[in-house]
A = this chain, B = another copy of it.
Amino acid sequence: MAGMRLYDNGWAPSPRRVRLYLAEKGHGLSEAIERVPVDLQHGGNLAAAYLAVNPRGLVPALVLADGRVIDDSIAICRYVEALHPDPPLFGSDPFAIAMVETWLRRIEAEGYAAAVYALRNGHPAFAGRALPGVLAGEGAAPPQLPALVERAGVLWAGFVASLDAHLAEREWIADRHYSMADIAALVAVDFAHRARLAVPESCGHLRRWHAAATARPSSGA
């Protein structure tokens, strides 16, 4: 992984997926890839220097030694997975591969989407940034939609209930061991917490899982 640069941000959820993945994967990857911080809070992602790396103005972005760029968090992880298949974090057999993908898509469309809806449409700091990256700056900024905060609550309630039920019979979400689905869910749950979407006391299985995921050394990466 020599010569690779990862454009990163300690606050944002998407680069956190990549950091946790690299920490779980091992092989010294976390140390082998250079990190370049991007200051989202002060618009560093929309500055010309960063738009030259990623015209979408989003983090993370991985720049390969030959200059090619991968600008999606899960795609970065799948790239590293193709180079370093072991330990398998995207599923250790065909059914587990399907379960990882099922949950990655569900976490993204329901859990993570709920958190993004709530935060970008409900938090004053996101006024004018209801859509991320350059989408927020093209023409008139899209307005915050308070009704989406309410819808976020519906999505979130359905998401945590279904994940809690799923975890009643399983230690981890999609495979016999910790996988990318667990990483994405941990990032979504922690991000949702900042958007005031909590895991209710009634979701005991999900809370047990969250404690176990948080206890792994990777969670602080």
Contact = CB atoms under 8 A, between A and B. Distances in A.
Interface in A25-83: 56, 64, 68, 70-72, 74-76, 78-79, 82-83
Contacts of A97: 75, 78-79, 82
Interface residues of A, number: 41
A216 interface: no
Given A70-B98, A75-B105, A98-B70, A138 B151 contact: no
Contacts of A213: none
Interface of A: 56, 64, 68, 70-72, 74-76, 78-79, 82-83, 91, 93-95, 97-99, 101-102, 105-106, 108-109, 130-131, 134-135, 138, 142-143, 145, 147-148, 151, 154-155, 158, 162
